[in-house]
Amino acid sequence: MSDSQVMIKLTRDEALVLSHWLEQLRTADPGRVVDDPAVWAPLHRIAGTLDKALPELFAPDYDHRLETARQRLRPDG
């Protein structure tokens, strides 16, 4: 089996919400959610890629942007 790459495409809203969730996961008690240490390598790669792709993570109105993205992604939103 080759070690080829997989590409995942996300909307900006999806990327912002996922980035926030990954950050919460990293700063909480990750052992309760992720029980296999092998999972951390891809999670860190995804989080790093999102950090580089989303300048709004460092915007003064980040909380507002995050909540707006969440609202757009919710099925009832």
Q: What global pTM score does this model have?
A: 0.83
Please check whether residue 17 lies inside any domain of the structure: no
Task: Please indicate, yes or no, if residue 1 is contained in any of the structural domains.
Answer: no
Q: Are 76 and 23 in contact (CB under 8 A)?
A: no
What local confidence, expressed as pLDDT, does residue 1 receive?
54
Domain assignment present for 16: no
Distance CA 16, CA 55 (A): 10
**7 within some domain:** no
Range of the domain at 67: 39-77
C-alpha dihedral sign at 70, 71, 72, 77: positive
Write down the pLDDT at residue 19. Answer: 96
| More confident of the two residues 46 and 26 | 46
Residue 68 lies in a domain: yes
Q: What was the pLDDT predicted at 77?
A: 58
In the chain, the number of structural domains is 1
